[in-house]
A and B are shown apart, each in its own frame.
Chain A
Amino acid sequence: MVKLLIEAFLLAMRQLRIKKVRTLLILLGISVGVAAVVGVTSLGEGIRVNAVEEIQKSHDLTLIEVSPGLSNGNIILITESKVRAVRESGSVVAPYVKDAYVTSNKTYFEVNGISAEYMDAKNLQLETGMWFKEGTYQIVLGSDVGEKFSKIEGAEIGNSIDATIRLYGEEGRAIDKDITFIIAGRLKPTGTDTDTDDQAFIDINVARELTGKDVYDGIMVKLDKSSQAPGARTAIEKLGLTCYSAQDEIDSVNKIMNGVTLVLAFFSGISLIVGGLMIINTMIVSVYERTHEIGITKAIGASEPDIIRMFLSECIIIGVLGGILGDLLGIIFSFLIDRVGRPMLIAQLGIGDFEHLTVINIQILVAGFLISLVISVIAGIYPAWRGAKLDPVKALRQL
């Protein structure tokens, strides 16, 4: 059976060789279409990969930020029991509280009540001074807050800072509470994590005591590997809590770029329709030319499926060769976009921190190949059917 199939292709091959120029032109037609799709897709893929790499460089993909969830209009708070449940999902689980304070000079700043696990999860590093001692009003400032305090308040390490927090009583009455923090240290600027740079940090137990909170405002979950992130997220989201990680940004970049690439590929793929029409036209001419031969093959025992197979074999060969040729041209096309486009982008937009503008991967090449194959076969169906339906008597009469 396999041997007969191979033979069918060899016979089809011979037909294509007889019509060399015509076959070559069809191949060119279909492969230019494939090359356009491959080239454009590689550009889209290149932009996507560069954007994702950019996100990965500045974000920790093993970190999940958990915040209170919302379900049917009810807020799901992070209670002790939720924290215990979350602990099963990550290697480092650091709950924290977050409050806004204002200095006597009306400088607002955000204070996170954190534990040692939080420092570990976020990899917080001191620039000067030391960490707060547990159970004290010592405070460690993020780099931006530190700079602000130094400029506005004139407060340096070792100085104290007077701050007020506004709490609300049971009847919604505002209660202002005054605290004096002592600046213990200052963090290194993270460069990318602006949240941390804008925050100050105190002992979590002190922070909770100050506000009287019995729930947490968030949890930092640190994983061993980024591959564990999806599983951990699902588990945490099942608890009704909300998750955020850099993966969200990557996902949205992927979504946007996939959409953009699809639209670009669609327009560049219009040339494939032309290629398909070329195949239909050529195959119809071929059926017409071989009418007499089809009559003979019917008389000597070929069935209608045999004739259809005969023509579709030719189309499959065209599709395979067109796909390979199209992929090769596509690689060249993509290389040219990279060579010409990248320096232009760097010169015009001043962005230059990427190695390649285009990315070719196996999926793009396989897709290009399959597009060529599918279009060739679809284009061959009608001509093949016409050949199979020829009246043998009329076909034999035609010379």
Chain B
Amino acid sequence: MYMVETRGLGKYYTFGSGNQVVALNDVNLAVASGEFVSIMGPSGSGKSTLLNIVGCLDKPSSGDVYIDDEKIDYGNAGSLVKLHRQTMGFVFQGFNLISTMNALENVWYPMYFNKIPKSERKERAEELLESVGLRDRALHLPSELSGGEQQRVSIARALANNPRLILADEPTGNIDSKTGGKIIDLMKKLNKEQGITFIVTTHDMVMANNADRVITITDGEIID
């Protein structure tokens, strides 16, 4: 059983002048449940696009994506929201924390949309911050945290709704290599201990070396 499978996935952009740009072309990818997959490739190779489509933030131009062997219906907004709420979590290169909310609030925010009562939400958010080693920074705003700390908060946020899949887009791209190492360790730990499937795009060789499998994308195509 695959956690994620793509079949003949393509993404094309057509500009006003009639020029067509191919972002992804016939991508066939299968990620097993519990696998830690790293996607490498130069900038503009289409790896972020792939991640966005698998993460239901973007629609493919052709082909299908299966999650838990179930085909994603990109036209059904409700089913996409359900996947965001129950199945997957995101970690971004730029952390993407909400600047007006403190660390604790950022972590419980996904649970808020999942209609989980406030007390339960707060308790779980504290636990999650504890697990990423930021319990004492809970009431700090993102602007008062270092890059590494912010990324750990965003990992805690990604874990909020107990996802089985975490999609990380260059999670160590904006932080120094030492802190980046800690982030990689944390993700590996979650992968090993909780069996969460990770798909991580990266330029970081350390990240790649820690992955179960490395996939390389160039010009929108997977190179074996």
Q: Which residues of A does B touch, CB under 8 Å? A: 3-4, 7, 14-15, 18, 292-293, 295-304, 306, 392-393, 396, 399
Residue of B nearest to A299 (CB): B90
Residue of A nearest to B161 (CB): A301
The reply to whether A300 and B57 contact each other, CB–CB distance below 8 Å, is no
Q: How far is the CB of B203 from chain A (nearest CB, A)?
A: 18
Q: How far is the CA of A18 from the CA of B160 in the complex (A)?
A: 26
The reply to whether A299 and B57 contact each other, CB–CB distance below 8 Å, is yes
Residue of A nearest to B78 (CB): A303
1/0 per residue, CB under 8 A from A, across B73-113: the answer is: 00001100100110001101010111110000000011011
Q: Count the B residues whose beta carbon is within 8 Å of the partner chain — how many? A: 29
Inter-chain contact total with CB atoms closer than 8 Å: 58
Q: Among B57, B78, B99, B110, which residue has the most Cβ atoms of chain A within 10 A?
A: B57
Residue of A nearest to B105 (CB): A11
The reply to whether A303 and B81 contact each other, CB–CB distance below 8 Å, is yes
Contact of B57 among A7, A15, A292, A393 (CB under 8 A): A393
The reply to whether B84 and A301 contact each other, CB–CB distance below 8 Å, is yes
Q: How far is the CB of A294 from chain B (nearest CB, A)?
A: 10
Q: How far is the CB of B113 from chain A (nearest CB, A)?
A: 4
Residue of A nearest to B158 (CB): A300
B220 interface contact, C-beta 8 A:
no
29 A–B pairs (Cβ distance < 8 Å), ordered by A: A3-B117, A4-B115, A7-B118, A15-B100, A18-B100, A296-B96, A296-B97, A296-B98, A297-B98, A298-B57, A298-B84, A299-B57, A299-B96, A300-B89, A301-B81, A301-B84, A301-B85, A301-B110, A301-B113, A301-B114, A301-B161, A302-B81, A303-B77, A303-B78, A303-B113, A306-B113, A393-B57, A396-B92, A396-B96
Q: How far is the CB of A156 from chain B (nearest CB, A)?
A: 93
Residues of B within 8 A of A15 (CB): 100
Q: Is the interface of A mostly helix, strand, loop or mixed?
A: helix
B162 interface contact, C-beta 8 A:
no
B180 interface contact, C-beta 8 A:
no
The reply to whether B57 and A392 contact each other, CB–CB distance below 8 Å, is yes
Residues of B within 8 A of A7 (CB): 112, 118
1/0 per residue, CB under 8 A from A, across B52-64: the answer is: 1001011000000
B157 interface contact, C-beta 8 A:
yes
The reply to whether A299 and B113 contact each other, CB–CB distance below 8 Å, is no
Residues of B within 8 A of A299 (CB): 55, 57, 84, 90, 96
Residues of A within 8 A of B52 (CB): 393
Residues of A within 8 A of B161 (CB): 301
Residue of B nearest to A392 (CB): B57
Residue of B nearest to A395 (CB): B57
Nearest 6 CB-CB pairings of A with B: A301-B85, A300-B110, A301-B84, A301-B113, A303-B81, A392-B57
The reply to whether A393 and B58 contact each other, CB–CB distance below 8 Å, is yes
Residue of A nearest to B49 (CB): A393
Q: How far is the CA of A293 from the CA of B101 in the complex (A)?
A: 11
Residues of B within 8 A of A300 (CB): 84, 89-90, 109-110, 113, 157, 160
Residues of A within 8 A of B92 (CB): 396
1/0 per residue, CB under 8 A from A, across B103-136: the answer is: 0000001101111011000000000000000000
Q: How far is the CB of B155 from chain A (nearest CB, A)?
A: 13
Q: How far is the CB of B103 from chain A (nearest CB, A)?
A: 15
Q: How far is the CA of A12 from the CA of B178 in the complex (A)?
A: 39
A396 with B57, Cβ < 8 A, contacts A300-B113, A302-B113 known: yes
Q: How far is the CA of A299 from the CA of B110 in the complex (A)?
A: 9
Q: How far is the CB of A10 from chain B (nearest CB, A)?
A: 10
Q: How far is the CA of A298 from the CA of B90 in the complex (A)?
A: 11
Residues of A within 8 A of B114 (CB): 301
Residues of A within 8 A of B115 (CB): 4
1/0 per residue, CB under 8 A from A, across B31-52: the answer is: 0000000000000000000001
